[in-house]
Amino acid sequence: MERGYISHQAQAEVPADTSSHLLSPFQMGPLFKLSHRVVLAPMTRCRAINSIPQPCHVNFYSQRTTKGGLLITEANAVSPQAIGFPHSPGIFSEEQVKAWKDVVDAVHAKGGIIFCQLWHVGRASHTVYQPNGEAPVSSTGKAISEEWSVLMPGGSKAAFSPPRALSTSEISGVVEEFGKAARNAMRAGFDGVEIHAAHGYLIDQFLKDGINDRVDEYGGSLEKRCRFVMEVVERVVREIGAERTAIRISPIIDHMGTTDSDPLSLASHLIGLLNSYALAYLHVTEPRFTKEGLRDEGAAEGESSTAAMWKMVKDEYGGRVMRSGGYKRESAMKAVSSGSADLISFGRLFISNPDLPLRFAIEAKLTKYDRSTFYTQDQVVGYTDYPFYVREDLEE
């Protein structure tokens, strides 16, 4: 038999591995029986055209689908005002819904489960991305420090534009945009949505007291700073149900200057509120996701704040937990087997290894990723051209 790649159309099932919790089945709420705990993380990849997914998106997500595996899409803007990245998709127009349906159908045809991440970047934008060249909106009028930069449509970098603080009366309209986006995701056939409340984007800008300087009912105390996110959660849950709703948070991460004076208290308060809902999962990012990169890929919990956060999450959150932040096979195994996580999402390793769960299962060598192609607009290179596992034992 001629040697070659295992086709993603006829990819072998992930072998059962009773010794590995990472590769064991998991019941994610009442609706979703997962065959393993290896999740495709949401990753902005800049391959959309006019904010509309393309055929390459169908191929990318289909390649990374396993039967019973969970995928989370790249972040989708909930409105034109929510955009802050070049060539990133949305879920607010009919064209976008139709294009995402093609992706969802391809994933479902292979037995996969796919959630759509909902996104509003807030002040993490530039006037070039905003309707009529207006200022981006935020919880604040304070701009992101110039030590951070925004990626422009042509690939260059620039300073973020100064934002405009949303008026109190405008906030309900943004909440409604999340609700409509969740409805559109269901129309496209998605199994659920993940609310992006992390990494310095709009919801995080309301949560962190280093950013939120409001004096109305959305600023000041923990209760007031958490009001916006909980209104979004309530609106999405009302639209599609808690069992199809998830949320991503990053309480101890200061990405794009989103700092808080007491991040663990913020996380504890927020988790207490989220416990009122039987969400599909809580997705928490660890502080490798920073400008400096506080820890290497797959490193053990290093900072005391990280260890304290995970102890708090384990002790206080009553639902299902997903962790992310530079994990490799061994560190993911440890996190799941210790009981501190139910699921682990992988980003860069899943970019360059479309059959990552299979490679983890058989402990195959991983393909290295090419960082220079992460945010290009090429519809193939660095996106769908990474190889599948080659069986060395196939006969010539």
pLDDT digits (tens, 9 = 90+) for 76-113: 999 999 999 999 999 999 999 999 999 999 999 999 99
Q: Tens of pLDDT along 309-329?
A: 999 999 999 999 999 998 999
**CB distance 114 to 104 below 8 Å:** yes
pLDDT of residue 392: 58
Residue 350 three-state SS: helix
**What pLDDT does residue 13 have?**
52
What is d(CA 361, CA 2) in angstroms, rounded to the nearest whole number?
24
| Alpha carbons 213 and 313: distance in angstroms, whole number | 27
Neighbours of 135 (CB within 10 A): 17
Instruction: Determine which helix (DSSP H) or strand (DSSP E) holds 222, and give its type and residue range.
Output: helix 222-225
pLDDT, mean of residues 230-244: 98
Q: Work out whether strand 157-158 and strand 164-165 pair parallel, antiparallel, or are unpaired.
A: unpaired
Q: Measure the CA–CA gap between 334 and 159, rounded to whole angstroms.
A: 40
Radius of gyration of the CA atoms of the chain, in A:
20
Is 385's pLDDT higher than 90? yes
pLDDT of residue 288: 62
pLDDT in tens, 323-356: 999 899 999 999 999 999 999 999 999 999 999 9
Q: Are strands 245-249 and 281-285 parallel, antiparallel or unpaired?
A: parallel
Q: Is the pLDDT of residue 300 over 50?
A: no
Distance of alpha carbon 175 from alpha carbon 172, whole angstroms: 5
> Any idea what DSSP says for residue 49?
B
Q: Is 166 within 8 Å of 134 (Cβ atoms)?
A: no
Q: 0.75 cut: is pTM over it?
A: yes
Given a cut of 50, is residue 10 above it in pLDDT?
Answer: no
Residue 44, Cβ neighbours under 10 Å: how many? 20
**Which is it for the CA torsion 179, 180, 184, 187, positive or negative?**
positive
Residues in the chain: 396
pLDDT level of residue 16 (50, 70, 90 thresholds): low
Q: Residue type for 64, please?
A: R
248-272 mean pLDDT:
95
306 vs 254: CA distance, rounded Å: 13
Q: Which residue has better confidence, 93 or 288?
A: 93
DSSP state of 127: G
Enter the tokens of residue 136: 């981006």
Percent of the chain with pLDDT over 70: 89
Secondary structure of residue 332 in the 3-state scheme: helix
Reply yes or no on whether 201 is catalytic. yes
Of 251, 266, 104, 132, the residue nearest 192 (C-alpha): 104
Could you report the per-residue pLDDT of 135-188, keeping only the tens digit for each? 999 999 999 999 999 999 999 999 999 999 999 999 999 999 999 999 999 999
Spatial separation of the C-alpha atoms in residues 123 and 139, rounded to whole Å:
8
CB 21 within 8 A of CB 339: no
Catalytic entry in 5, 61, 129, 201:
201
Give the whole-angstrom CA distance, residue 76 versus residue 79: 9
- Domain 21-373: CATH superfamily is Aldolase class I (3.20.20.70)
